[in-house]
Amino acid sequence: MKKLLTIGLFTVISIYGYSQTQQIDSLKEVLEKHEGKLNALDDRVLVNEADLSKLNKIKVSGYIQAQWESYGADLEKTNGYNNTFFIRRARIKFTYEALDGVKFVLQPDFSTGNLALKDAYTVVNLPKLKNVTLWVGQMNRPNYDVEYSSSSRELLERARVTTTIYPGEREVGAKLEYNGIKVPILFQVMVMNGDFTGTQAKAVQSNKDVMARFVYSVKLPSAGVGIDFGANHYFGNNLAKTNQYVKNSNGTVDSLNNVWRYLDKHWTGGEIRIYADVLGGMSIKGEYVAGLNSIASAVASTSTMAQKKASPNLYNNFAGYYITLVKNVGAKNQAVVRYDYYDPNTKLSGDAANGALYYKTWSFAWQYYLNDNIRLTAQYTMPKNETNATNLSDYKDNLFTIRVQAKF
């Protein structure tokens, strides 16, 4: 009997041990399955974190400028209407900080009648050259009036001299920029195609244009005054492909003796900006530029000599400047006045200028900042042109504009 009890007890213990082993093995299997799922979840989290890290490096900004314009009598005759609503600019800017010191920028424009690429460039900090960056791609030319963003500018458009000698504002090329910290200087030098007019295209000539700009900043904290002043120089050329005749600023006509010759274009400018923390804040900004511009003839190579002489290449000595006064009125209002002058041919005037008439333009604007994102602007622009036998009086092209800008 005792022997049977021993065998029975051993059997029960064995069965219980086997059952416990099965449970432990089963539990281990379940845990291993869950561990596998958790590892897969960790992998997904790591992937998502990597994707979010990339997204955090992307900055999206932009603005929309919707406006209403009312035109003077002569502009009404030219346009066929005396007022209109339209979208002046609609831009979205993508900035991607790939690495520390490496940035990519892409900015298209969707304004009325226009779908264009405005900016597409890369900025790289050069590690062995402190405070020096390399810019490559399509970008603004190194000029204050050009580089000052259309979303921040106090007046609706740039000065006439700026839009004439820098058509399209942008250029395709490479730029080196030094921005001093201890010594407050800015130095820029850019090598570019030189024939950009607003539409992206490859260069139409082998020679490249070069522009350099230098700015020095002075701060007088005790007086609440800051001053930026500088100079710039542009040296480039246009290719005369089809016409060997050149008409100079003084009206004389020369021959290049051959086509496929380069026409010089070069000018020098000076700039100054004064910021004063008085009576709510004010600033005075000005720039002067003068030099030689050239325009390549568009006549066909098969044109007759008479046709080529009638539409020659052009050399124009020009000069232009602007001065702008900006005055804050309270915390949300701003009054702006600008006078700008542009003469496309300083050698001749009146009838002898052959249509290259000077312009003197007054612009008056009042701005109201509803908040950090919305700005309302009312501006009245009064251009006054030089008169001659063809233009007996000032062209009635005054312009009244109301603009709403939404910026994000």
Indicate if the pLDDT at residue 7 is higher than 60: no
Q: What are phi and psi of 283, to 5 degrees?
A: -150, 155
365 or 115, higher pLDDT: 365
Q: Residue 119 and residue 116: Cα distance in Å, rounded?
A: 9
Strand ranges (E), 202-312: 209-220, 225-240, 245-247, 253-255, 261-276, 282-295
pLDDT at 383 over 50: yes
CA distance 384 to 361: 6
- The confidence score (pLDDT) of residue 351 equals 75
pLDDT digit string, tens, across residues 127-166 = 888 899 999 999 999 999 999 999 999 999 999 999 999 9
Percent of the chain residues topping a pLDDT of 90: 67
| Element of type H or E holding 3 | helix 2-56
Q: Using one digit for the tens of pLDDT, what is the confidence trace for 259-293?
A: 899 999 999 999 999 999 988 899 999 999 999 99
Element (H, E) at 98: strand 83-99
Phi-psi region of 97 (alpha: psi -120 to 50; beta: other; left: phi over 0): beta
pLDDT at 275: 97
Give the model's pLDDT for residue 281.
93
| Structure tokens given for 366 | 């009042």
Compute the mean pLDDT over every residue in the chain, rounded to the nearest whole number: 88
How many CB atoms sit inside 10 A of residue 145's CB?
22
- Please compute the mean of the pLDDT values over residues 244-252 and round it to a whole number: 92
Question: Does the structure show a pLDDT above 90 at 247?
Answer: yes
Per-residue pLDDT reduced to its tens digit, 87-107: 999 999 999 998 888 999 999
Can you give the pLDDT at residue 13? 44
Q: What is d(CA 376, CA 369) in angstroms, rounded to the nearest whole number?
A: 6
Percent of the chain predicted with pLDDT > 70 = 86
User: Could you write out the DSSP letters of every residue in 288-324?
Assistant: EEEEEEEE-----TTS-HHHHHHS-EEEEEEEEEEEE
Using alpha carbons, list the distances in angstroms from residue 405 to 48, 153, 371: 36, 12, 11
> Nearest-CA neighbor of 63 among 406, 370, 373?
406
Range with lowest mean pLDDT among 6-20, 31-45, 174-188, 211-225 = 6-20
Dihedral angle at the C-alpha atoms of 155, 156, 161, 163, nearest 10 degrees? 150
The amino acid present at 3, given as its one-letter code, is: K
The mean per-residue pLDDT over the stretch 365-390 comes to 94
Q: Tell me whether strands 313-329 and 245-247 are parallel, antiparallel or unpaired.
A: parallel
Q: Is the pLDDT of residue 42 over 70?
A: no
Give per-residue pLDDT as tens, 161-207.
999 999 989 999 999 999 998 899 999 999 999 988 877 677 878 89
Q: Is the pLDDT of residue 18 over 50?
A: no
* Residues contacting 279, CB < 8 A, separation 6+: 327
**Which one has a higher pLDDT value, 17 or 342?**
342
- The confidence score (pLDDT) of residue 227 equals 97
What are the pLDDT digits (tens) for 302-317? 899 999 999 999 999 9
Query: What's the CA gap between 152 and 368, in Å, rounded?
Result: 13
359-369 and 313-329 strand pairing: unpaired
| Cβ-based burial of 285 (10 A; exposed 0-12, middle 13-18, buried ≥19) | buried
